[in-house]
Amino acid sequence: MTENSIILTILIALLIINVIITAFSGKEEKTISGTLISSGIALIMSGIPELSEMILGLIASLLNSSLVDTEGDYIIRIVVGIFLVIIGIVFKVKVSERVYILNMYGVAVQKDIDEVNAIKKLHLSEYKVKEQILDFTPFFDGISMKQNTNGMICKQIEKSTTRFSSIVAEQKHSCFTGMSPIPYTIYAGTFLENAKITRYFEYCNANGGYYYELKKASKKEKKEIPDLKLTFPTTPISNSTEIVLAISISHEVRQQDLSQFAMDIVTLSLDEPKDNVIRFTQQLDSYKQTIYKCLETDLFSKYPNLKTIHIAASIPSCMSIEIGKSIGVRTNRVQDIVVHHYISSNNPPYSFGLYVSGSKKGQLYH
């Protein structure tokens, strides 16, 4: 067995081991650069005659065999090694520029974000976009929900969001878009608190449908952002253990639709709710902070015995994810939060809910 053969065998073995490890880690692309760099360094080190001979001698003694003497082409190894290190570094830089997007499908009306028109509209580079699709439209008919179907959807959401969080763990930014039932989008958000989602692409159905990205508001635009206002019942039932929190951002959550809930209704609403009203990152952050404060302190100031919070909301996907992320970090709260799904043609319109926190998380509420 020649010296070059042994070096090559060792490198191939290391590459195979690395591929197996990365296949289970979910970070294949990021680790390819590491593999190239480490392989290059190994080749460079093997190109140093004294070190190469020492390693080969150790291997020979362990195998109790002799090696065929060869001078070895040390210069070629060093050159190839340097080349691999350079390629690995370049690949690592390119991967760090990737735009990782989680696209959540729950209703079959939107388009993949990597379509040519969407890429152009969002001013993205096509080769940089890495889109992960979370699609459960085959299971969700938009009308009814059964325990086993819900279980499949929740498992798929948890698996996909966990994998996405792992992939983007080392990224400074990651992105989200989607059109899904609000209970499941909020549920997904509870698993994404560590994903560093900083960019949201919202879908607008007008003019044939298009994506737009939430942008940073100017000073003038910031002053024009409408407030999300909290309103309690005139005479709150202070000993209540359950209440409804109605959040009206995209559309008004109407009082008549909430008549099926025999409990106090607290509202968080804009003066004029409308589709695609959230356009700015500061606006999203402001509403998120308002909702978080409501869930953490405001509700308990009026209802100290509160055990279950029912959320009935008309909100965009970006808001759903941020609410879910806020709920996901509420580890010291024992209250159950149930998010209800609205179907205007149903009677009652809120036909089922989903526990998104507490010991029943992921279970249906009927």
pLDDT tens-digit series, residues 217-265: 999 999 999 999 999 999 999 999 999 999 999 999 999 999 999 999 9
Which range, of 35-49, 247-261, 281-295, averages the lowest pLDDT? 35-49
φ, ψ of residue 177 to 5 degrees: the values are: -150, 165
Sequence-distant (6+) residues with CB within 8 A of 309 are 242, 243, 245, 295, 299, 335, 336, 337, 338
Tokens representing residue 16 in the block: 């195979």
Q: Find the mean pLDDT for residues 100-129.
A: 73
How far lies 246's CA from each of 269, 274, 282, 317, in Å? 8, 15, 22, 16
Q: How far apart are alpha carbons 186 and 150 in whole angstroms?
A: 14
- For residue 23, the model assigns a pLDDT of 47
| Mean pLDDT, rounded, for 169-177 | 85
Closest CA to 153 of 166, 169, 140: 140
The predicted-structure confidence for 177-187, as pLDDT tens digits, reads as follows 988 999 999 99
pLDDT tens sequence across 122-171:
777 666 778 898 988 888 876 778 899 999 999 999 999 999 998 888 77
Q: Hey, CA dihedral for 15, 18, 20, 22, is it positive or negative?
A: negative
The tokens of 30 are what? Answer: 């990021």
pLDDT value, residue 345: 85
Annotated domain spans of the chain = 3-96, 99-365
Query: What count of other Cβ atoms lies within 10 Å of the Cβ of residue 304?
Result: 10
CA distance 5 to 192: 47
Return the residue matching tokens 């190109």: 47
Least Cα distance to 180 among 120, 102, 122 occurs for 102
Confidence class of residue 1 from pLDDT cuts 50, 70 and 90? very low
Question: Phi first, then psi: what are they for 266, rounded to 5°?
Answer: -105, 140
pLDDT at residue 16 tops 80: no
Q: Which of 7-11, 100-104, 307-311 has the highest mean pLDDT?
A: 307-311
Q: Band the pLDDT of 40: cuts 50, 70, 90.
A: low
Preceding peptide of 348 cis, ω within 30°:
yes
**Interval 33-42 mean pLDDT:** 68
* Helix locations, the chain, DSSP H: 3-25, 28-46, 49-63, 74-96, 116-121, 147-167, 182-189, 219-223, 281-293, 299-302, 317-328
- Residues 142, 145, 113, CA angle at the centre, nearest 5°? 45
